[in-house]
Amino acid sequence: MKKNDVILQTVTNVVVFMIFLFSLQVFFSGHYHPGGGFIGGLMTSGAIVLLLLAYDIKTVSKIIPIDYKLLIGIGLFFAVATGAGSLLFNVPFLTHAFSHFDLPILGETSLHTAVLFDTGVYLVVIGVTMTIIQTIGEGE
Amino acid sequence: MTEIINVFAGIFIAIGALLSLVTALGILRLPDVYTRNHAASKGSTLGVMSVLLGAFLYFYTLDGDYNSRLILAIVFIFITSPVAGHLISRAAYNTGIPMWEKSVLDELKDKEKHEKDGLKREKQ
């Protein structure tokens, strides 16, 4: 019997974008509201897991051609580089700084280097979760 | 105006709680997995959506806080919850969970025969 997943796949196509946007919103609001890199990364990988449930593992790796083990490395590099960057300004390791910038579209925004550290956390969480799930999923 | 919307928020939350109660009663009282799923996926969807709408209205009138996450949650639940019910029912049917003994019609039972007929028609 051929499997017919058209309802699940159609709903997944809509819902994945909603989950992904919400995870980005949670990630960026982490400084002033509940949220942050960890929960944002978990929700992004939740969206990818939903894709894995609706489609098979080959299709998903074709849609998102990312090596998740590489993502862990990039995330750790982000975290360490943000910490080491403070050494250039003659302050202790992991000292953060923030300032107000006048961006072209967004207007006056306060940018904080902690966001870069959080990006590292975000990427590592996605990488670890997806590596675990893909490894278990591929194992016979 | 604020009071009126507050009353509406209260009514929405009460309706939502009532619908959730009806859902729980339906899950307890109905005879087999399909009818229970019918109660759970419809009643609780509308119940939770009403509660969220009530909460949204309350916080909107309380301090003008337009909480778009609640709107997103309403849309999200409206999309996903019936699909979850559909998938649970289909998984139950495919693993051979029996229907209530008083049910009269099972049109999926000779599905394979239908599929063969369809193949024949395509060949002709």
User: Any idea where the domains of chain A sit in the sequence?
Assistant: 5-138
Confidence check: pLDDT of A86 > 50: yes
Residue A106: its pLDDT value, please? 77
Contacts of A7 in chain B (CB under 8 A): 83, 86-87
Task: Quote helix, strand, coil % in chain B, to nearest 5.
Answer: 80, 0, 20
Using pLDDT thresholds of 50, 70 and 90, give the confidence band for residue A1.
very low
Q: What's the rounded Cα separation, in Å, for the pair A118 and A129?
A: 16
Taking contacts as CB-CB distances below 8 angstroms, the residues of chain A near B41 are none
Higher pLDDT, B111 or A132: A132
Which ipTM was obtained for this model? 0.82
A24-34 confidence digits (pLDDT tens): 999 999 888 89
Total domains in chain B come to 1
Residue A45: which residues within 8 A CB-CB, separation 6 or more?
Answer: A125, A126, A129, A130, A133
In eight-state DSSP terms, residue A3 is: -
Among B69, B76, B87, the residue with its CB nearest the CB of A8 is B87
Question: How far is CA A106 from each of CA A1, A100, A111, rounded to the nearest angstrom?
Answer: 53, 12, 12
Domain containing B93 equals 1-122
pLDDT tens-place string over residues A12-28: 999 999 999 999 999 99
For the record, the structure tokens of A1 come out as 């019997």
Average pLDDT over residues B50-61: 94
pLDDT grade for A99, boundaries at 50, 70 and 90: confident
Name the token pair of B83. Answer: 């699909």
Contacts of A1 in chain B (CB under 8 A): 112, 115
Cβ of A18 and B69 within 8 Å? no
